[in-house]
Amino acid sequence: MAEAIQEGEYWRWPETVWVDESKNWKEAEVISCGIDLGSVSTQAVIMLDGELYAYASFRTGSSSLDSSERVVKAVLEKIGDLKLEDIHYIVGTGYGRVSIPFAHKTITEIACHGRGANFLYGPTVRTILDMGGQDLKAIKVDERGKVVNFLMNDKCAAGTGRGVEVMADLLAIPITEVGPLSLQVEEEPEPVSTTCVVFAKSEVLGLMRKGWPKERILAAYFRAMASRVVELLERVGVEEDFAITGGIAKNIGMVKRIENMLGVKALKPDFDTQIAGAVGAALFGRALYLKGKKKK
Amino acid sequence: MATITINGDKYEVEAGSTILEAALENKVYIPNLCYHPNVSSAVGMKPIHEIFRGKEKFESGNDEPYEGCGLCVVEVTGGEIVKACHQKVENGMEIVTETDQLTSLRQKALIKIFSHHPHVCITCEYREGCDRIQCTFGNPVEERCCDLFPKCELRFIAEYVGLSSDTPKYTFEDLPVVEETLYRWNFNLCVNCTRCVRGCREVREATALGFIMQDDALVGRTGPTDKESGCKFCGVCVEICPTGVVRDIKKPPRNKWRDSVQDKMLAPTKSLFELIKENLATVPEAPGVYRLYDENQELIYIKGTPDLKQDLMEEEEIREEAKFFDYEEYEMYTMRESELIQEYLQRHGRMPPLNDELDDLF
């Protein structure tokens, strides 16, 4: 479903729809669905008896309601014959979670991220950094993925996905390429002086005028972002294993820099890191269905 | 025993106790800062001749006693205003703890404190849901609150009393920061309440800390280094300080003195309503966040909802343990819910008990 990049839309990352063709939903006892309606992106995950079956990851539109419908429709279409009514339990999460009319229950994204990361990365995960579109969360969990502490900043988009999008656009480099490109510097430049999206933009314009190559500018910006993130992590205390979720986990330039500054390696994912919240929601959905909790 | 009246309610209290002790014992909050249950009242304490902040020496300008922080003022029979931490109860005494005049006096006392203490985060509208690492308003780090913010006693007092618009901006004064054997002293955060001085003297019976009088009290150590001051490294000062002046550098060893320091009753953050049908009539059918409290007014649940009234009506029906509630209207209530849970977690180190109800879903 990846579309060709249109001119002036370098920030736009590929939208994905995926289904595990080897599984058959008709054989499943419990079909659960998790929808994570975030500020920048929306994911829907469908699980069969607690196993990952299908997901879609789209950009959140101006209407939360349309976004949740669109993403679910896309994943159902990809599966083909599965209907919304066939799903036993739907859990909504994310900031827009209450705008999902077909959800049976809503659960906070913090709980869902913890649970989802535990499933995706295994029970050894203790510290999760969720780098979302417009906020940052450092979450500590126990061996079951239950949240024991978290720290977030939802007041400032510095160091978040939106900041990376702005830089991609400014430098005219597709968002999927900014990470690898930023590593193609012989020596790390000094970080830009601020991660504030607005101020960094003018600082980067200045560097462009000075004739800095793009990879060097990206390196300078990502370094500043990484040190801001590391400060947040150190405040909650990093306990291994450590994992990064959210869109920025796909940015190798950020992941490497965070790892270097922390001196801790992040677990390597073999799936889309943006779906962690929706996976957690789907797992809660299954448990709620089995518990026979009354639908809301 | 003595019988007193506080804000119209009668209480049987210990004769010889102070008004503040009697009130707190009965869960009536009176703003206070320099008071601490482990030590005697600050009022009338005599200064010493010299103190040190690191190598820097300060000498007393006069021998006037310290008069206390001035926050615990109350009105007693006859309209006289007294310091509740100092004035003893008398049989038949009638005490009023909240009047406009008292609020104004307390605000004046806070102006004095906050002129020399960072407070930009306390008055910031974004204070919840902020990690205080990146400041949206670009306030320099030295002017922001320290990492004890979620539990800060001073902050709860300020929120309770309300800061006057005359409170000046704090400017960083670059006072000494001393890091030695076990503790780090950051005098930029000191409000000179003398609690550590009394803790050192009365709890540990040492004389490592003292204060002098210049225009006001100035707290410091009695020697240029921890050892020269006669510090016994008990850590009582760390426990008793209402701000973040003195902090452990290493994981603190336990000892009986340190363990004996009690927690203070903090200023209640909001006035609560009893969770009964009559009180729900005034709740708006609007989005927001509500909080539920048990019979001891301990917070048990935080929840955001598109319809406060409907949800609270349901809670009233099903939740037996919830006896009180409060709420705030907030358009982005899912975000607000996360912010308030974060606040709670940082203050208590655990989730509110009913927010943990997902426990059986793992």
> Tens of pLDDT along A217-271?
999 999 988 988 898 898 888 999 999 998 888 899 999 999 999 999 999 888 8
Model pLDDT, residue B356:
75
Of A152, A196, A291, Cβ closest to residue B338: A152
Local structure of B31: helix, strand or coil: coil
The minimal CB distance from A154 to the residues B129, B138, B346 is found for B129
With cut-offs at 50, 70 and 90, classify the pLDDT of residue A3. very low
Nearby residues of B218 by Cβ (< 8 Å), 6 or more positions away: B51, B58, B192, B211, B212
The Cα of B362 is separated from the nearest Cα of chain A by a number of Å equal to 7
The mean pLDDT value for B89-95 works out to 95
Residues B256-272 have pLDDT tens digits of 999 999 988 888 876 78
CB-based contacts of B102, cutoff 8 Å, min separation 6: B73, B74, B75, B81, B96
- The per-residue DSSP string of B253-295 comes to PP-HHHHHPPPPPPPPSS--EE-SHHHHTTS-SS-EEEEEE-T
SS3 call for A41: strand
Q: Which tens digits make up the pLDDT trace of B46-57?
A: 999 999 999 999
Tell whether the model's pLDDT for residue A4 goes beyond 70.
no
> Which whole-number Å values give the CA distances from A12 to A199, A230, B283, in the listed order?
22, 26, 43
- Min Cα distance A2 → chain B (Å) is 31
Q: How many Cα atoms occupy the beta-carbon half-sphere of A143 within 13 Å?
A: 0
pLDDT at B270: 67
Distance CA A95, CA A115 (A): 17
Residue A21 has pLDDT above 60, yes or no: yes
* CB atoms inside a 10 Å sphere around CB B311: 17
Cβ neighbours, 10 Å, residue A47: 25
Of A260, A245, A129, A130, the C-alpha closest to A183 is A260
Give me the pLDDT at residue A222, please. 92
Which chain A residues have a beta carbon less than 8 Å from that of B345? 149-150
Which tokens is A117 given? 């990361």
Structure token pair of residue B323: 């006896």
Please give the residue of chain B at the shortest CA–CA distance from A150. Answer: B342
**Nearest-CA neighbor of A246 among A117, A89, A155, A154?**
A117
The closest alpha carbon to A18, from A49, A50, A48, A45, belongs to A45
Whether residue B1 lies within 8 A of chain A, CB to CB, comes out as no
As beta bridge partners, residue A139 has A128, A150
Question: Is B293 buried (19+), middle (13-18) or exposed (0-12) by CB count in 10 A?
Answer: buried
Identify the pLDDT of residue B265: 84
Residues of A in contact with B306 (CB under 8 A): 98
| CB < 8 Å to B136, chain A | 155-156
> Which chain A residue's Cα is nearest to B334?
A95
Please give the Cα distance from A35 to A187 (Å, whole number).
Answer: 42
What whole-number distance in Å separates Cα of residue A2 and Cα of residue A56? 12
Single out the residue of A87, A98, A27 nearest to residue A288, CA to CA. Answer: A87
Question: Amino acid identity, residue A211?
Answer: G
| Cβ-defined contact of B130 to A147 (cutoff 8 Å) | no
CB of B349 less than 8 A from some CB of A: yes
Any B CB within 8 A of A145 CB? yes
Instruction: Judge whether B339 is closer than 8 Å to chain A, CB to CB.
Output: yes
Give the Cα-Cα-Cα angle A233, A238, A242 (nearest 5 degrees).
100
Which of A61-65, A80-84, B355-359 ranks highest by mean pLDDT? Answer: A80-84
Enumerate the residues of chain A whose CB falls inside 8 A of the CB of residue B342.
150-152
* pLDDT at residue A296 tops 60: no
* Residue A260 touches chain B, beta carbons under 8 Å: no
0.90 surpassed by complex ipTM: no
- Judged by phi (left if over 0) then psi (alpha if -120 to 50, else beta), residue B194 lies in left
Q: What is the pTM of this model?
A: 0.75
Contact A108 B341 (CB under 8 A): yes
Q: How confident is the model at residue A56 (pLDDT cuts 50, 70, 90)?
A: very high
Res A12: pLDDT: 77
Strand partners, A149: A140
Q: Which amino acid is at A93?
A: T
CB B169 within 8 A of CB B45: no
Assess whether the previous peptide bond of A241 is cis (omega < 30° from 0): yes
Q: Which of B317, B345, B362 to mutate to test the interface with A (most CBs of A within 10 A)?
A: B362
Tell me which residue in B306, B334, B345 faces A95 most closely, judged by beta carbons: B334
User: Could you tell me where the DSSP H helices lie in chain B?
Assistant: 19-25, 100-114, 153-161, 195-198, 236-240, 256-260, 277-280, 308-318, 333-348
Give dist(CA A119, CA A106) in Å, integer. 19
Question: In the predicted model, what is the mean pLDDT of residues B197-223?
Answer: 95
Q: Sheet holding A41-48: strands in order across? A: A16-19, A51-59, A41-48, A31-37, A89-93, A105-106
The answer to whether B67 touches B32, Cβ cutoff 8 Å, is no
Domains in chain A, CATH or no CATH each: 16-120+274-295 (3.30.420.40), 126-266 (3.30.420.40)
Return d(Cα B126, Cα B151) in angstroms, integer. 17
